[in-house]
Amino acid sequence: MKLVRYGNPGKEKPGMIDADGVLRDLSAHVDDIAGAALGDEAMARLRSLDPASLPAVGGNPRLGPCVGQIGKFLCIGLNYTDHAEETGNPIPAHPILFFKANSAVVGPNDDVVIPRGSKHSDWEVELGVVIGKPCKYVSVEEALDYVAGYCVINDVSERHFQMNLTGQWTKGKSCDTFGPTGPWLVTRDEIPDPQNLGMWLDVNGKRMQTGNTRTMIFTVAEIISHMSQLMTLHPGDVISTGTPPGVGMGKKPEPVYLKKGDVMELSIDGLGTQRQTVGEDA
Q: Where are the domains of the chain?
A: 2-53, 73-280
| pTM of structure | 0.96
pLDDT bucket at 196, cuts 50 / 70 / 90: very high
Least confident span in 9-13, 84-88, 102-106:
84-88
**What is the mean predicted confidence (pLDDT) over 156-185?**
92
What is the separation, in whole angstroms, between the first and last Cα of the chain?
40
**What is the mean predicted confidence (pLDDT) over 147-155?**
98
In this prediction, residue 188 carries a pLDDT of 97
Q: Are 185 and 112 in contact (CB under 8 A)?
A: no
DSSP string, 3-70: EEEESSTT--EEEEE-TTS-EEE-TTT-S-SSGGGGSHHHHHHHHTS-GGGSPBPPS-PPB--SSSS-
Q: Are 84 and 222 in contact (CB under 8 A)?
A: no
Asked if residue 253 has a cis previous peptide bond (ω within 30° of 0), the answer is yes
| Domain 73-280, CATH number (from 3.90.850.10, 2.70.150.10, 3.40.640.10, 3.40.50.300) | 3.90.850.10
In this prediction, residue 84 carries a pLDDT of 76
**What is the mean predicted confidence (pLDDT) over 166-187?**
94
In this prediction, residue 120 carries a pLDDT of 96
In this prediction, residue 81 carries a pLDDT of 86
pLDDT bucket at 107, cuts 50 / 70 / 90: very high
Asked if residue 169 has pLDDT above 90, the reply is no
Share of the chain above pLDDT 70, in %: 100
Share of the chain above pLDDT 90, in %: 90
Asked if residue 211 has pLDDT above 80, the reply is yes
Q: How far apart are CA 126 and CA 155, in angstroms?
A: 7
In this prediction, residue 44 carries a pLDDT of 96
Asked if residue 282 has pLDDT above 80, the reply is no
Q: Indicate the pairing of strand 179-180 with strand 206-212.
A: unpaired
Asked if residue 232 has pLDDT above 80, the reply is yes
**What is the mean predicted confidence (pLDDT) over 75-84?**
88
**What is the mean predicted confidence (pLDDT) over 228-254?**
96
